Amino acid sequence: MHIDHAQPDANDVGWFVARQPAIVRHLERRCGTTDAFPVALEAAFQICQALEETLGVPPPMVPGSLLERADDAADMETIVPGGARGGCAERQPELVAWVADLLANPPIPLRAEELQQVGACLSAVIYALDELTTGRPVP
């Protein structure tokens, strides 16, 4: 799976916001009005783009209820030392590695708390998209 590091244009972002409103609301709720929000928004867009390239079609619209379950799973995964069996890194290793690289080299300086927010909300997005595109239920 390839993730493009090119910045999306306004039309791309507009399409993403219209197609994935629950993801955008999830990012807003988790990141607030901090600098973490635009970083998470662009990353979520790029994750969806990578899945679209892999699948040949855009990922289905993510329901808010699925993001809530995915958020809980991502939170539990961070509590378990070494990650959870069947966790995000096992399900989508390329996406998780890309997010780890993003957090190590964010496009703008972020505080440690903001980096944690971005990582947490993107983990939930990956879990939710994984369930919708593969049929593997969020743990």
Indicate whether 3 pLDDT > 70.
Answer: no
- Across the chain, what does the average pLDDT equal? 89
What is the C-alpha to C-alpha distance for residues 64 and 61, in angstroms, rounded to an integer? 10
Q: Where residue 90 falls among pLDDT bands split at 50, 70, 90?
A: confident
Q: Where residue 89 falls among pLDDT bands split at 50, 70, 90?
A: confident
Query: Residues 39, 56, 22, 135: what is their CA dihedral angle, to the nearest 10 degrees?
Result: -120
Mean pLDDT of 94-99: 92
Nearest CA to 123 among 110, 80, 12, 58? Answer: 80
At 5 the pLDDT is 56
Specify the 3-state DSSP secondary structure of 25: helix
For the chain, domain boundaries = 10-134
Q: What is the pLDDT of residues 27-63, one digit of tens each?
A: 999 999 999 999 999 999 999 999 999 999 999 999 9
What is the C-alpha to C-alpha distance for residues 50 and 33, in angstroms, rounded to an integer? 26
Mean pLDDT of 79-91: 68
Whether the Cβ atoms of residue 2 and residue 50 lie closer than 8 Å to each other? yes
Q: Where residue 85 falls among pLDDT bands split at 50, 70, 90?
A: low
Give how far the C-alpha of residue 61 lies from the chain's centroid of Cα atoms, to the nearest Å: 14
At 12 the pLDDT is 79
